[in-house]
Structure 1
Amino acid sequence: MTWPPAPMEPAEVARSLRPFGESTMLPAAAYTSAEVLGWERRQLFAGTWVCAGRAEELPAQRGITVGDVPVLLVRSGAEVKAFANTCRHRGHELIGDGESADRPVIVCPYHGWVYTVDGALAGAPRFRDVVGFEPAEHGLVPLPAQVWHGWVFVNATGDAAPFATHLGALAGLVAPYAPDRLRLADRHEYQVRANWKVIVENYQECYHCPHIHPELCAVSPPNSGDNYDLPGAWVGGTMDLRDGMTTMSLDGRSGGVPLPGVDQRRVRYLALFPDLLLSLHPDYVMTHRLRPLTPDTTQVECSWYVPPEVQDAGYAVEFWDRTNRQDWAACESVQRGVSSPHFVPGPLAPNEDAVYRWVSLIARAYQGTPPWPR
């Protein structure tokens, strides 16, 4: 499987794929071009596996847009199915983007075609006596959907690699934290005036930490930890906690309880391509879910998950809300900088190897190679 190449100058993309130590960041168009973002919406978002939120928060039916493709999610208990959100009559959306419904069937609001929750056509007004009309030929188009540790993932084009291939070795790193057993403690929404990739690149390095994150550096040495180089469409690494610190909080102490069976001295930072950032702590899990709105604006949903017996996760929320806002200010400054006519993609520092892996993944995708093994 290959993709059409992105609308970018091939030679500029190629510079990002030079060996580590010789490569540069992506060209400016990767962060500023509406045409490039349009390509990304179809290939990188609709064409792979996007996180659509938590299964337990879904109503019976919800319309969403994955990349540039309308999708209908249908939940029945723990099972979630996905369909193309387009009526088989004239293409009207069955439920608008962000809207929901709670009923036993799916009804098109345009001409009243009715579908079962399995996608079969159950009724088409005035077609009963139409010769040659076969309801079985007009069911909704099913799309691949998976529930993983409580999160719903959808492939809107229907032709991505299997979800297990997409996850690769990430599955084994996340499993000990059992996020599906945790409860949502808090959620913050941010609108960041920066390209979505700027946010992910910032997430992949702590080269910047001594300069903008005094609270984080007080609980974790910025040069600690290692980065992974393992199979799957993801990038990430670890950071260590300082001696005497038990978690990421303003005083290094936990207001919760340790998660059983996980490393109590290390935090994992994992970016599952293209839109889910997972921060795995000894006592809580935090996620950032990214939705690009424009080339220079990204909606970020930040969620904190804790064991059911923990009543207050404020110690984690306060720490990360402050850290998030420090990061957002830096990312917005980067966005203004890459938008300058004087911007020239720069080199990567020796400790930015995870950024290099992310940039390489994006650059190969721009050349037409999806983020999975051939």
Structure 2
Amino acid sequence: MPPPLPAADLAAALAPFGTSRMLPGAAYTSPEVLAWERRHLFAAAWTCLGRRDDLLAHGTTQRGVTAGDVGVLLTAAGQRLRGFANVCRHRGHELLPDGGTATRGAIVCPYHGWSYRLDGALAAAPRMPTDLDASDHGLVEVPVEVWQGWVFVNATGTAPPLPAYLGGLAGLVEPYHPASLVHGARHTYEIAANWKVVVENYHECYHCPLIHPELCKVSPPNSGDNWNLPGAWVGGAMDLREHAETMSLSGACAGRFIDGAPRGTVRYLGLLPNLLISAHPDYVMTHRLEPVAPGRTRIECDWYFPDGVTDPAYAVEFWDITNREDWAACESVQRGLSSPHFRPGPLAPGEDAVYQWVTLVARMYLDPAVALRQATENPPSTKIVWPVM
């Protein structure tokens, strides 16, 4: 499996922090790179599909989804959630279209009527020879896990186990109990920028004084620090100003605080490849990313609150304004990346989380299995002394 970009082109991104540069422009603009990412990065990682309650709700027993470019069929029998390749073992027809659902107790291929139990076992193959070995023609299972209410799939089956993949992120999210929170709102955006541009923007506040006046009123843009802990993720925390209880236009919490959640700080965590978790004292916000094209990304933004909060507008309004400010910046970056004059630039001292992200992606380009093993076994070594200028 050759990398999508020459190793020599990735060397500058993998240089030590303080001397490194961004990924090459083709990483953000090339259809070939995105095709590689879908097959070898998204499918090889633990990709977030959304919330279990959304994916399999109201009696739904089956749903067709896509992880990278690999079709997956989710099935639910009682509380047991499983995943299978969305491929009939007869002639390869999809069992359900992407986003399609079914409520029946069997999986039936719409092409020739082969049917399977919800555990993937072949149940019937009409008009096939009687000596067909059903045990050799069950659906191909792929790893699916539920963590804190989110469903993750590793479509290639090659990633480390999800607990190791999450690493230190799990403990940072645990105090917010997201599995017990109630969904309050969702905004879906489709923006003209590469998915990695969105993630890089999320992981730094160097830009905040110039484009986020509302944010800077409630959170000092130079506050906080980033973590170096095992796992395939990047993240850090930012402080709230003394008068602010949360991220809202006034700084006030108009709902109620999450029991046991830290006060005075917001945690910003990005799990490779497509889930951003922003944990506040009183709510959790997520961005789930789906690449549509090299220069286009669909973003599903959700807000979760403690039970009993009836009006989420105070949080949603603040972040919808902030999101749209970010999207405008990301779209401008994408236009610049498409210029023949773009050259990868250096990172600022405060962009260490961006460096962690860029190096994780670059290592995934070189060898996904090695990159994920390194990420889950060792904290990222990015906290080095910045060179004296």
In the superposition, the TM-score normalised over structure 2's length comes to 0.93
Counterpart position of 1:99: 100
d(CA) in 2 for partners of 1:255, 1:160: 41
SS in 1 for 2:347: coil
Contact kept, 8 Å, 2:51 with 2:150, in 1: the verdict is: yes
Which letter maps to 1:45? F
Alignment map for 1:160-179 (pairs within 5 Å): 160-179=159-178
Q: Quote the Cα distance in structure 2 between the aligned partners of 1:68 and 1:239.
A: 35
- The residue aligned with 1:271 is 270
Secondary structure of 2:371's counterpart equals coil
Q: Deviations over 1:155-209 (max 9, x none)?
A: 1111211111110011111111110000110001000100000000000000000
2:341 maps to 342
Does 2:357 correspond to 1:364? Answer: no
Is this contact kept in 2: 1:275–1:289, CA < 8 A?
yes
The percent identity for this pair of structures is: 62
1:77 shift after superposition:
3.7
Q: How does 1:56-135 map to 2 (within 5 A)?
A: 56-57=53-54, 58=56, 59-127=60-128, 130=129, 132-135=131-134
Deviation readout 1:90-139 (Å, 9 max, x if unpaired) = 00000001111111110000000110000010111012xx2531111111
Aligned residues: 369
Task: Identify which of 44, 55, 58 aligns with 2:52.
Answer: 55
Structure 1 window deviating more from structure 2 (255-264 vs 326-335): it is 255-264
> In the alignment, is residue 15 of structure 1 matched against residue 12 of structure 2?
yes
- 1:56 shift after superposition: 1.2
| TM-superposed deviation, 1:60 | 1.6
**Residue of structure 1 equivalent to 2:383:** none
- In 2, Cα distance between the equivalents of 1:5 and 1:24? 22
Q: How many angstroms does 1:9 deviate by?
A: 2.5
The whole-number CA distance in structure 2 between the counterparts of 1:144 and 1:50 is 11
Q: Is the 8 A contact 1:269 1:278 kept in 2?
A: yes
SS of equivalent residue, structure 1 residue 238: strand
Secondary structure at the residue paired with 1:15?
A: coil
**Which letter maps to 1:14?**
A
Deviations 1:66-101 (A, max 9, x none): 101010011234331100000000000000011111
Q: Structure 2: state its 5+ residue gaps.
A: 378-389
TM-score normalised over the length of structure 1: 0.97
The answer to whether structure 1 residue 330 and structure 2 residue 329 are counterparts is yes
Amino acid at match of 1:169: G
Give the counterpart letter for 2:297 in structure 1: T
> Which residue number corresponds to residue 193 of structure 1?
192
Quote the Cα distance in structure 2 between the aligned partners of 1:131 and 1:324.
59
For the residues of structure 1 that align with 2:256 and 2:130, how far apart are their CA atoms?
66
- Counterpart residue number, 1:30: 27
Q: How does 1:301-316 map to 2 (within 5 A)?
A: 301-316=300-315
Which 10-residue stretch deviates more, 67-76 or 340-349? 67-76
**Cα distance in 2, alignment partners of residues 304 and 184 from structure 1:** 6
**Structure 1: distance between partners of 2:25 and 2:114:** 46
